[in-house]
């Protein structure tokens, strides 16, 4: 993630927050705060599609 940030300086980032085979809200917020320092827009994905996927947008927003 740090390499992507350094080389490409993405202004828009899409992060998984579901927590099942992906990052959860806490890990995704950490990634945004520590690695994607150029991001102006963050779009969460892979959440709320199945009952086994526990991460929520509300949790992600709170962690940010």
Predicted TM-score (pTM) of this structure: 0.89
Confidence of residue 20 (pLDDT cuts 50, 70, 90): very high
Q: What angle do CA 17, 47, 16 make, to 5 degrees?
A: 30
Confidence of residue 57 (pLDDT cuts 50, 70, 90): very high
Task: Give how many domains the chain has, as a whole number.
Answer: 1
Residue span of the structural domain in which 12 resides: 2-63
Indicate the pairing of strand 41-45 with strand 12-16: parallel
The 10s digit of each residue's pLDDT in 31-50 is: 999 999 999 999 999 999 99
Helix (H) and strand (E) counts in the chain: 3, 2
Sequence-ordered list of residues with C-beta below 8 angstroms from that of 64, at least 6 positions apart, any chain: 29, 32, 33, 42
């Amino acid at each position: 993630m740090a390499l992507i940030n350094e080389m490409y300086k993405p202004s828009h980032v899409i992060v998984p927050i579901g927590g099942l085979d992906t990052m959860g809200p806490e890990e995704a917020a950490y990634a945004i705060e520590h690695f994607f320092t150029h991001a102006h827009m963050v779009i969460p994905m892979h959440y709320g599609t199945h009952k086994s996927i526990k991460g929520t947008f509300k949790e992600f927003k709170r962690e940010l």
